[in-house]
């Protein structure tokens, strides 16, 4: 049994990761501001090995106490996506970057032996080459992605024989979670398809890398259990396939129904992102088990079961709306 601290563990990915860690028999402590509600773990049957700390990553006292008797940190906490970050850049910087070095320092000082850092595939910016590998230059276009890249560098400064560090650069995550996001591309399209029977595609030829949320959970489990010599001071892309926005819309329609109308709208935003995930496949033997259709099917079931009510109005599903309502400083 490992003793794991998951920062941001009540977020979109964390709400799926934490139950998976508990199922593997680990003790899990979550440090989270709980902005999106405190009910994300209600359906977990056995909470004996779960401890939830409502606290701020910028509070060194909360961080230090959360690290007590912890041997592994999975760092997910951040102000996610560019619009949420740009809403309050100073707040975003304070959480996404300024608090990172103190967290890493405290983790190493407290005896943590493995630190798994969630970065982002957005650190590459826009690339013309067909396969964007981990060796590609980092050219982040926004402060959000710039600070993600800078955190990777900071983490490497603290790497040592007894402090294993690894960063993962996920594609855009999609699918159902108890802490649902409906502000990422596949989930947005599915929400509109289910509830409006209409999808609006801006452009359509832009590439967007995605990964099913349960495959993303599997990546963290893999990094948790991997031989340190295979992951120490390494960085791994994590994605499924690079699909065009139109391809994604077509897949959504295939799952939701032929009556869904797809409207194509011209756009000046032709940014196209793509990544290669061959390294994690070759070096860690990781291959995604789910695809975009599976993510859409899971969301369709969740909508049908009444788990995603008021899907256009409830701010919990949209990071930027929650940030505005929370008024955190």
Banded model confidence at residue 326, pLDDT cuts 50, 70, 90: low
Confidence of residue 82 (pLDDT cuts 50, 70, 90): low
Q: What is the mean pLDDT of the chain?
A: 94
Q: Which helix (H) or strand (E) holds 173?
A: strand 172-174
Q: Is the pTM of this model over 0.85?
A: yes
Closest by CA position to 182, among listed 10, 23, 12: 12
96's tokens: 């996404």
Q: Which pair of structure tokens corresponds to residue 222? A: 């893999």
Confidence of residue 145 (pLDDT cuts 50, 70, 90): very high
Please say whether the beta carbons of 204 and 228 come within 8 A. no
pLDDT band for position 89 (50/70/90)? confident
d(CA 173, CA 25): 25
Mean pLDDT over 180-189 rounds to 96
Each residue's pLDDT tens digit, 213-230: 999 999 999 999 999 999
| Average pLDDT of span 186-199 | 98
* 328 within 8 A of 54, measured Cβ to Cβ: no
Q: What does the block give as tokens for 54?
A: 């409502």
Strands 241-244 and 172-174: what pairing? unpaired
Strand partners, 202: 265
> Could you give the CA distance from residue 227 to residue 124 in angstroms, rounded to a whole number?
27
Structure tokens at 282: 């070759």
Q: Name beta bridge partners: 234.
A: 166
Return the DSSP state at 90.
H
Whether the pLDDT of residue 270 is over 80: the answer is no
Q: What is the mean pLDDT of residues 52-61?
A: 95
Kindly indicate the confidence band of residue 85, based on its pLDDT and cuts at 50, 70 and 90: low
Over range 72-101, report the average pLDDT: 86
In this prediction, residue 329 carries a pLDDT of 67
Q: Could you tell me if 288 and 211 are in contact, meaning their C-beta atoms sit under 8 angstroms apart? A: yes
Average pLDDT over every residue of 49-73 = 96
Q: Choose among 191, 188, 214, 212: nearest CA to 202.
A: 188
Q: How far apart are CA 41 and CA 73, in angstroms?
A: 19
Task: Give percent of the chain with pLDDT exceeding 70.
Answer: 98
The answer to whether the CB of 257 falls within 8 A of the CB of 195 is: no
């Amino acid at each position: 049994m490992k003793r794991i601290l998951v920062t941001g563990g009540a977020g979109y990915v964390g709400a799926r990761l934490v139950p998976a860690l508990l199922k593997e028999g680990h003790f899990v402590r979550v440090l989270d501001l709980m902005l999106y509600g405190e009910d994300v773990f209600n359906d977990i049957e056995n909470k004996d090995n779960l401890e939830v700390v409502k606290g701020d990553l910028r509070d060194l006292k909360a961080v230090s106490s959360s690290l007590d008797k912890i041997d592994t940190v999975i760092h997910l906490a951040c102000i996610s996506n560019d619009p949420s970050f740009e809403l309050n850049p100073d707040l975003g910087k304070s959480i996404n970057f300024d608090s990172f070095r103190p967290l890493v320092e405290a983790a190493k000082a407290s005896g943590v032996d493995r630190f798994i850092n969630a970065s982002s595939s957005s650190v590459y910016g826009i690339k013309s080459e067909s396969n964007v590998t981990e060796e590609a230059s980092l050219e982040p276009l926004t402060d959000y992605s710039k600070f993600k890249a800078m955190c990777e560098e900071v983490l490497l400064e603290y790497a040592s024989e007894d402090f294993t560090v690894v960063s993962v650069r996920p594609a855009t995550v999609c699918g159902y979670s108890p802490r649902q996001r409906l502000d990422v591309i596949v989930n947005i399209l599915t929400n509109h398809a289910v509830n409006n029977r209409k999808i609006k595609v801006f452009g359509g030829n832009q590439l967007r890398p995605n990964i099913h949320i349960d495959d993303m959970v599997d990546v963290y489990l893999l990094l948790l259990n991997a031989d340190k010599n295979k992951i120490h001071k390494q960085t791994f892309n994590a994605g499924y396939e690079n699909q065009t926005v139109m391809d994604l819309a077509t897949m959504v329609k295939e799952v939701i129904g032929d009556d869904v109308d797809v409207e194509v709208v011209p756009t000046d935003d032709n940014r196209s992102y793509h990544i290669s995930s061959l390294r994690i496949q070759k070096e860690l033997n990781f291959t995604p088990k789910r695809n975009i259709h599976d993510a859409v099917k899971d969301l369709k079931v969740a909508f049908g079961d009444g788990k995603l009510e008021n899907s256009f109005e409830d701010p919990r599903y949209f990071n930027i709306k929650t940030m505005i309502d929370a008024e955190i400083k």
